[in-house]
Structure 1
Amino acid sequence: MSMTFNYNSCVVQSRYTRRPGGNCREVRRRMALHLLKLNDEKTKMMIFTSEHHLKTYEGYSLTIGDDTVSPSDRIMYLGVHKDQHLTMTDHVTAVCAACNYHLYRLSSIQHYLTNEAAKSTVTGLVTSRLDYCNSLLHTIPLSQTARLQRVQNNAARIITRTSKHDHITVLNELQWLPVESRIVIKTLVMTFKCINGLAPSYLAEITQPRKRDGRLRQNYAPTLHQGITKKCIGDSAFGARMFTGNSVVEQLWN
């Protein structure tokens, strides 16, 4: 369950304080009809906002059943580690730790694996983790992308049995795109599916085609509507990583 609202209004505060609790009561009622039970103790809540406005939400809490849920600093949702400011640093750290663990174990048996066996193993244990939900990593700092790139380089060295002191040119031999290019392509492919009705409705609703007035030739291009943020600092620090308004989807596609 996700909601977008401006917490500065008192009317909005009361409305969005009651709404999640009412939704959870409805979910609990429907689960009871099917002999299921909602675990209130494991319910977590997170408020995504910029660091500048974080103090605005101090003291905010929700009542779910008999438990009071306070905002968490970090959560893991569908295998993705998220923080309040969407820096994605925790997620990159978790991905690098998991990949390096498998690469360390593969390095001890790489001499017993054929090239195809090593490539299949690395694809299943390492590359799949680098590609999972990687569109959320767009616009993260280059220092974080470099950490993922080092993991990919180490995986390529294990497959080709290249020394760590040699220049990493084996990515071209394996026809692997760099991590940053894989992130961009994943986002563009999903955008193409949204525009052409190949994606789920909840994703297709996010992309809004630009209205055409017929006076300019460029209006016939399949571009997306690009919103305008009120402040540049919000666009660069937080808003550009959200899939609403002036987002990376419109910037990449247009």
Structure 2
Amino acid sequence: MNDGKTQYLPIVPKSADAIVDKSVIRVGVATITASPCVQCLDVCIDRHLDIKKQVSQTISACSFYLRNINQISRFLPRPTKERVVNAIITSRLDYSNALLYGTSAINIARLQRIQNMAARFIMRSPRSDSATPLLRELHWLPIVCRVDFKLLVFTYKAMHYDAPVYLCELVCPYQPTRTLRSANNSMLQVKRTRTKSGDCSFAIAAASLWNNLPTVIKTCDNLTSYKRLLKTHFFRIAY
């Protein structure tokens, strides 16, 4: 291991921060202290799993690029603005956004403000205008719906074995002990948990979201049709 780049992250409640800050791990002659957060695949994971640091980094990057793009906005027609924003801003908002499931309303609101800023930039609207009509005209789903959309796409792929094995193993079809009408509704088994973190795990979140979908969406025979119907479903809910 590279001693200078090796980190370890203890997952603990906030009440245990003082104890964790003093803990170390010894590997050979190297001493590794606990880190408040670590980077994994460009995602910042903190010891409380509240994704607050990752949200802050995403907002900082999006704000930086929005300011730079705004300096040349008068030279860009609207279709070009949409492509630039989707490539630079929306892609960052969507990257690993499935981890935002179950996060605080504050984190969602902070990311939503960035999306609203991007919509106003494209439509050349003042900050005082409501962003909801702009998002609807651009056909953009709000942040909370984009998180659910991503999770449900993963769920569909896992059910049809078009995902990594470790995800497919977490999706369990619901099998009632006796004959019920719900047996033909493509339901998933929702396991019981006792913690909020357990409710945010993929196995629980995927099953809960999937079971709330209309049957016509769950029974799609190809991914393209499924995504189209799923976006229409969330678009009607959001607007």
State whether TM-score is above 0.5: yes
Work out which of the residue numbers 69, 75, 78 in structure 1 matches 2:38.
75
Matched, 1:243 2:202: yes
Matched, 1:253 2:217: no
- Amino acid in the other structure paired with 1:88: I
1:30-41 matches, cutoff 5 A: 38-41=1-4
Structure 2 length as normaliser, TM-score? Answer: 0.79
Rounded Cα–Cα distance in structure 1 between residues aligned with 2:190 and 2:37: 30
**1:140 maps to what in 2?**
103
1:211 counterpart residue number? 175
Alpha-carbon distance in structure 2 between the residues aligned to 1:249 and 1:163 = 38
Give, in whole Å, the separation in 2 of the partners of 1:70 and 1:196.
43
Moved segments of 4+, more than 6 Å:
53-59
Measured after TM superposition, the shift of residue 75 of structure 1 is 1.0
Measured after TM superposition, the shift of residue 167 of structure 1 is 2.1
Shift of 1:123: 0.9
Aligned residue number for residue 173 of structure 1:
137
Identity of aligned residues (%): 32
User: Kindly tell me: are residues 240 and 107 of structure 1, through their superposed partners in 2, closer, same or farther at Cα, counting changes over 3 Å?
Assistant: same
- The residue that corresponds to 1:157 in the other structure is 120
Residue type of the alignment partner of 2:116: N
Structure 1: tracts of 5 or more residues without a match: 1-37
Structure 1 residues 130, 192: CA separation in 2 closer, same or farther (over 3 Å shift)?
A: same
CA distance in 2, matches of 1:55, 1:227: 34
In the alignment, residue 198 of structure 2 is paired with which amino acid? Answer: G
Paired letter, 1:185:
F
* Contact 1:45-1:70 at 8 Å conserved across structures: yes
Partner of residue 148, structure 2: 184
Alpha-carbon deviation of 1:213? 3.2
Secondary structure, counterpart of 2:14 in structure 1: coil
Give the Cα separation in 2 of the matches to 1:66 and 1:58.
20
1:115 corresponds to which letter in structure 2? R
In 2, Cα distance between the equivalents of 1:129 and 1:119?
Answer: 14
Distance 1:70 1:243 in 2: 30
For 1:32-51, list aligned pairs within 5 A.
Answer: 38-51=1-14
What residue number does 2:85 align with?
122
Shift of 1:61: 4.5
Determine which structure has more spread, i.e. the larger CA radius of gyration. Answer: 1
Q: What is the Cα deviation at residue 239 of structure 1?
A: 2.4
Residues 1:112 and 2:71 aligned together: no
> Contact between 1:92 and 1:148, CA under 8 Å: does it hold in 2?
yes
1:103 maps to 2:66: yes
1:38-94 CA-to-partner distances (Å, cap 9, x unmatched) read 423311111224335667868664443432333321111111111111111111111
**What amino acid is aligned across from residue 85 of structure 2 in structure 1?**
V
Are the equivalent residues in 2 in contact too, given 1:190–1:199 (CA < 8 A)?
A: yes
TM-score after normalising by structure 1: 0.75
How many Å apart are 1:148 and its aligned residue? 0.7
Cα contact 1:41–1:67 (8 A) shared by 2: no
Report SS of the residue matched to 2:141: coil
Question: What secondary structure, in the 3-state scheme, does the structure 2 residue paired with 1:159 have?
Answer: helix
What is the alpha-carbon root mean square deviation over aligned residues?
2.1
Aligned partner of 1:250: which letter? A
Counterpart contact for 1:40–1:65, Cα < 8 Å: no
Change (3 A) 1:50 1:210: farther
